[in-house]
């Protein structure tokens, strides 16, 4: 059975010791899917939704980047990282808004949690800004799409 990385020899939660790891280029991409009901889709003009609170997707992009930068404040034992790059994009695919967050850093630990947090908060922001139109908005999936750097690589094959 594999040992969980955030549990010490006495089964207590702990931060992973990365002091002996090498600094490498790390990158991760995460995706959240937001199903938009007809009431919300009808408010889409081009590639944006204008709401009383402002431009929905533009605001969600800003929120996603801000969240990725603060991941260590939200997730216990997450190392604080000075992100070198964080891109949040939102595209429309049928009834869905697809949020992708890609983070990059040179560090001793990966950026999966930053990418997942950025995608999640951007999706939550879409919900928050559109809930006046419908409460039937569904954030259906948040997942790691790819990661590189460090000792393991990952790429989701759909």
Domains observed in the chain = 24-149 (3.30.70.640)
Distances (CA, A) of 59 to 65, 90, 115, 154: 10, 11, 17, 30
- Identify the pLDDT of residue 1: 40
Lookup: tokens for 117? 């947090």
Residue 85: predicted pLDDT = 98
The confidence score (pLDDT) of residue 2 equals 52
Where does residue 123 fall: left (phi above 0), alpha (psi -120 to 50 degrees), or beta otherwise? alpha
Q: How far is the C-alpha of 155 from the C-alpha of 34, rounded, in Å?
A: 21
DSSP 8-state secondary structure symbol assigned to residue 13: B
Query: 151 and 21 in contact (C-beta within 8 Å)?
Result: no
Q: Are 30 and 100 in contact (CB under 8 A)?
A: yes
Report residues of the chain scoring pLDDT below 50: 1
Strand boundaries in the chain, DSSP class E: 24-35, 44-45, 48-51, 54-55, 85-93, 96-107, 138-148, 154-155
Single pTM value for the model = 0.91
Residue 8 annotated as catalytic: no
Q: Of 22, 87, 128, 136, which one is the catalytic site residue? A: 128
């Amino acid at each position: 059975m594999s040992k969980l990385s955030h549990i010490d020899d006495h089964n207590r939660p702990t931060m992973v010791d990365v002091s002996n790891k090498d600094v490498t280029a790390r990158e991760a991409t995460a995706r959240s899917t937001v199903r938009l009901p007809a009431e919300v889709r009808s408010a889409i003009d081009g590639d944006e939704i204008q709401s009383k609170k402002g431009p929905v997707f533009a605001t969600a992009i800003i929120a996603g980047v801000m969240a990725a930068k603060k991941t260590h404040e939200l997730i216990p034992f997450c190392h604080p990282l000075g992100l070198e790059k964080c891109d949040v994009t939102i595209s429309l695919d049928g009834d869905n808004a697809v949020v992708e967050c890609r983070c990059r850093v040179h560090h001793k630990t990966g950026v999966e949690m930053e990418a997942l947090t950025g995608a999640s908060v951007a999706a939550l922001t879409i919900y928050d800004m559109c809930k006046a139109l419908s409460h039937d908005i569904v954030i259906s999936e948040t997942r790691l799409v790819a990661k590189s750097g460090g000792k393991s690589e990952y790429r989701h094959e759909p």
